[in-house]
Structure 1
Amino acid sequence: MKTDLPLSAAPLTRHSGQTLSEQLAGQVAERIRQRLLAPGARLPSVRDAARRHGVSPHTVVAAYDQLLAQGLVEARKQRGFFVRGPQAEPAAARSRAASGADVAAPKVAPIDATALIRGMFQAGGGRPGPGLGTLPAAWLDLPLLHGALRRVLADDRQAGASASALLYGEPAGDPRLRMALSNRLQDLGIPAAPERIVTAVGATHALELISRTLLAPGDAVLVDDPGWAVESARLSRQGLRLLPVPRGADGPDLDVLAALATQHRPRLYVTVSVLHNPTGHTLGLNTAHRLLQLAQAHDFLIAEDDTYAYLAPPHAPRLAALDGLQRTVYVSGFSKILAPSWRVGYLAAPAGLVDRLIDTKLLSTLTSPALLEQAVAVCLEQGLLRRHAEKVGALLASARARSVRLAEAAGCRFLAPPQGLFGWLDTGVDTERLALPLLDAGWLIAPGSLFHASHRPSTAMRINFASSQDAAFWKAFVAARATMKNAGSGPALS
């Protein structure tokens, strides 16, 4: 019988609020609850598990003891440890199942994701936040925004009683913008006529329209792991069961995805194909092709979040282009490239889904702001957005090179090739604990634990290349990390 744990187990760290045995037990428990370790499966031997994770056999025995106490595994004399079958579940678990609570997949929300959002609304004038997800205000083009609005308002004055400012916008979104978006998507190889496009109040709202339309509380949804902290938190608040899919250099771990799809029959996979947040990875063509085959075989749709489209290479592959919007719903927006307050997003969907999405939009926001949508249309039609994005791209390339040098000089190792807006790096210590002294010093970071659907310690950290160029931050980082390591020196944890 197969004994390997399912792929992509997170590394254990000695600089964590949890012992090594607690971390290992948590990883195995998560795989059991996701049914990636089936009832009757044998766990790796103590010696094999110790070698694989770089810990002592005592640590593995302690972890397996915790799993025994939780009723998730059983010990068979001279044979090892095995996953218990459903009939051997503890009474508490049976009680939850009888009451309708599905315990097969984690529902833990990364609640600290709100700290990242709150950081965006702090008063200006302070130090940049290396963990934030926005471009610096100095990089944005205020005259461009003012000019586009003046053009729209001038047209509105001529319209008189039929001015956009006096009326509700169209339910699907401003027709002028949807036509401009259709042309934009054609450039990306995505066949989306204006009738297949629905606008939203930002890309996050577009993703919510999809999940609210397709899913009900208790439904399972596949998500990237690591993935966007805010989206995982939002889906959890909606009452959905998150099925984390490990994310690698070429995209999702398709073996894990196939196993989860077989066990849980998800109806949706929310993923980022290009410039993945937080790793910066871009989906490989072979992986994209196989992913679409799995979506067809297991009958789920893919919500493709392309929020950072204007920072991406021009010919990066999109799932929506590869399958012609058959099993994909493409999502993007403009707040990341124009300004955070310009909450204009959109989705392009299969034809049979559009009316349902519009109904959900009507129930959530009635319509979206026509004036801002028309201003974005002006930026698209006149090439203003394209030229602005080229300038931002040049600034970002320079900032990325400087931030990489500073990070590596501080002893960090990049877990993915640096590209796009974000860097995903290994710090060597538990970044959730590291965040507290750095916050006291005035620096907001994004700990790796925020980007996992099930909370666990992580030595990873996401940085924003645009706001991580200050040598003072890296000096504070090195000092805080050294303090943590000194405090944690001594006998190895177990």
Structure 2
Amino acid sequence: MLTRTSTQSLTGQLADRLAERIRTRLLPPGARLPSVRECARQQGVSPYTVVAAYDQLLAQGLVEARRQRGFYVRDSAPAQEGRLPNAAPMVIQMMASRVPADASSLIRSMFHRPSDKPQPGMGVFPPEWMSSTFMPTAVRRMTSTAALQELSLQYGEPSGDAALRRSLSNKLVGINVPAAPDQIVTTVGATHALDIVSRTLLRAGDPVMVEEPGWALEFARLEALGMRILPVPRRADGPDLEVMAQYCQLHSPKLFVSVSVLHNPTGYSLTPGSAHRVLKLANEHDFHIVEDDTYSHLAPEHATRLSALDGLQRTIYVSGFAKILAPNWRIGFLAASPELKERLLETKLLATLTTPTLFERALSWCIDQGQLRRHAERVRIRLDGARGRAVKLAMAHGCTFASEPAGLFGWVDTGVDTDALTQRMLDQGYLLAPGSLFHARRPPSTMMRINFATSQDAAFWKVFSKVRAEL
């Protein structure tokens, strides 16, 4: 909070706080700053202090004053119009028209936490949840003198370490995804795998179907590549098939991006009936499906996956280990048909040549020894308990769940505008994930995504309840 004992003036403190939020896109381009009177009330300072702080932001070129409308964050890179030609009115209404400018804020928060408090908006487990003794053992095995020389002083295999690809192939058998080792390509995390697929199968201007609500970074990443996003509403049983069918008839999309199991942010999982109809559409209209199974380690093995039903004919399976094991090892992978795999490998070669063998070999040992499986079981048990506590706290403080709580995330209705709520909670040291982030056009929303692992703190919910009441 602003303090009068600081060596910096209240004006300087307020200007610096708002400037930092603008630079980290917690206040995105186009966002309206609170009115002078409202900001003075929120911060407990005089209107004169707020006016002086806003003047500093104006001088730095971070905001602009609009006559009789207030102060707005400057948009240094105006968004391009994103409408598709000849779209039906329903389609136009749902189309993405700009990049969600602050999609990176959730990613930045992983590196720059607003405080030492638990952060309900985070997208990862707390580090202490992933601490283990077997990971150091695996690394030590790979850094013995002979192994370190072998794995470090030459490029690895372009497709990825052969031992890891064999381990991954065996692991995929457990979820009925038929992928031989030579159908697998390792990547620098699952996001890199998604990027390889996009750069291989798409060209600027191509229409891509993406589930909505969906992962904020995926909307921003595809827009940055020049793709045209077609948001597909995600329901409890799967994507809205009527909307998909209209898109197919009007725009001939090249790709559908889906999180089949423990969907982010709703927690929904695909049903077999919906999966079959999605695959039928893909065959009829000749598009590929990239299945992002990032949360596979938290899901039951019997969960329905498009790649298992399709046998990797039109599907490309993507997953990784940052969420469950080692974020900084940056190991992900993709699996595809033999023909498509070669095209995907070419894209990887152009971007990164190879991926680091040392950590890939260490991960292979963790999988083969059963260490990863046992670790995931411990995390799931701990998450089940955390989820129960977080749900009780959320409901006790007036929130409702839009979907049955499952997996790592909860999709919560707060009853107030969560963009405004997010800015107010930052003043209290908490980062939220507002519902608008998970939509292509970022409409106002009363929804927010909570991380069950970091939402068990009763102190957070008390502050949340107080701030929401003020709104």
TM-score relative to the length of structure 1: 0.77
Q: 2:101 aligns with which of 98, 111, 122?
A: 111
Aligned partner letter, 2:193? A
1:127 aligned partner: 117
Q: After superposition, where does 1:257-336 map in structure 2 within 5 Å?
A: 257-336=244-323
Cα distance between partner residues in 2 of 1:446 and 1:178: 35
Cα distance between partner residues in 2 of 1:369 and 1:107: 38
2:436 aligned partner: 449
Aligned partner letter, 2:295? Y
1:143 aligned partner: 133
Deviation for aligned residue 1:263: 0.7
Decide whether the 8 Å contact of 1:107 with 1:240 is kept in 2: no
Q: 1:33 to 1:469 in 2, by over 3 A?
A: farther
Decide whether the 8 Å contact of 1:219 with 1:240 is kept in 2: yes
What fraction of aligned residue pairs are identical, expressed as a percent? 55
Aligned partner letter, 2:380? G
Equivalent pairs counted in the alignment come to: 393
Structure 2 unmatched runs, 5+: 1-30, 33-80
* Residues 140-179 of structure 1: CA deviation (Å, up to 9, x unaligned): 124221111111223xx33585x01111111100000000
Cα distance between partner residues in 1 of 2:137 and 2:148: 21
* Residues 89-122 of structure 1: CA deviation (Å, up to 9, x unaligned): xxxxxxxxxxxxxxx9434111211110111002
Q: After superposition, where does 1:233-272 map in structure 2 within 5 Å?
A: 233-272=220-259
Q: 1:141 to 1:232 in 2, by over 3 A?
A: same
Q: 1:310 to 1:159 in 2, by over 3 A?
A: closer
Decide whether the 8 Å contact of 1:221 with 1:266 is kept in 2: yes
Decide whether the 8 Å contact of 2:95 with 2:441 is kept in 1: no
**2:210 matched to 1:158?**
no
Decide whether the 8 Å contact of 1:200 with 1:344 is kept in 2: yes
Cα distance between partner residues in 2 of 1:34 and 1:439: 42
Aligned partner letter, 2:119? G
Decide whether the 8 Å contact of 1:140 with 1:339 is kept in 2: yes
**2:378 matched to 1:375?**
no
Aligned partner letter, 1:158? A
1:59 aligned partner: none
Q: After superposition, where does 1:454-473 map in structure 2 within 5 Å?
A: 454-473=441-460
Aligned partner letter, 1:408? M
Cα distance between partner residues in 2 of 1:414 and 1:350: 39
**2:341 matched to 1:354?**
yes
Q: 2:402 aligns with which of 411, 415, 418?
A: 415
* Residues 12-58 of structure 1: CA deviation (Å, up to 9, x unaligned): xxxx98xxxxxxxxxxx99997834379xxxxxxxxxxxxxxxxxxx
* Residues 416-447 of structure 1: CA deviation (Å, up to 9, x unaligned): 00000000011111101110010110000000
Q: 2:87 aligns with which of 20, 32, 35?
A: 35
Cα distance between partner residues in 1 of 2:83 and 2:207: 15
Aligned partner letter, 1:286? G
Partner SS state of residue 462, structure 1: strand
Cα distance between partner residues in 2 of 1:213 and 1:478: 47
Aligned partner letter, 1:37? P
Deviation for aligned residue 1:125: 7.2
Aligned partner letter, 1:347? L
Partner SS state of residue 198, structure 1: strand
Deviation for aligned residue 1:335: 0.4
Partner SS state of residue 171, structure 1: coil
Aligned partner letter, 1:174? D
* Residues 51-76 of structure 1: CA deviation (Å, up to 9, x unaligned): xxxxxxxxxxxxxxxxxxxxx9xxxx
Q: After superposition, where does 1:70-89 map in structure 2 within 5 Å?
A: none
Decide whether the 8 Å contact of 1:267 with 1:300 is kept in 2: yes
1:186 aligned partner: 173
Cα distance between partner residues in 1 of 2:413 and 2:393: 14
Decide whether the 8 Å contact of 2:114 with 2:429 is kept in 1: no
2:60 aligned partner: none
What is the aligned-residue RMSD (CA, Å)? 2.2
**2:469 matched to 1:479?**
no
Cα distance between partner residues in 2 of 1:35 and 1:279: 28
2:14 aligned partner: none
Decide whether the 8 Å contact of 2:82 with 2:228 is kept in 1: no
* Residues 248-290 of structure 1: CA deviation (Å, up to 9, x unaligned): 1111000001101111111101110000000000001100000
Decide whether the 8 Å contact of 1:36 with 1:256 is kept in 2: no
Q: 1:30 to 1:121 in 2, by over 3 A?
A: closer
Aligned partner letter, 1:141? S
Partner SS state of residue 416, structure 1: coil
Partner SS state of residue 373, structure 2: helix
TM-score relative to the length of structure 2: 0.80
1:3 aligned partner: none
Aligned partner letter, 2:305? R
Q: 1:170 aligns with which of 157, 172, 179?
A: 157
Decide whether the 8 Å contact of 2:83 with 2:96 is kept in 1: no
Deviation for aligned residue 1:315: 1.1
Stretch moving more, 321-330 or 335-344? 335-344
Partner SS state of residue 327, structure 2: coil
Cα distance between partner residues in 2 of 1:140 and 1:34: 50
Partner SS state of residue 469, structure 1: coil
Deviation for aligned residue 1:124: 9.5
Deviation for aligned residue 1:232: 1.0
* Residues 328-386 of structure 1: CA deviation (Å, up to 9, x unaligned): 00000000000221210000011111111111101111111111111110110000000
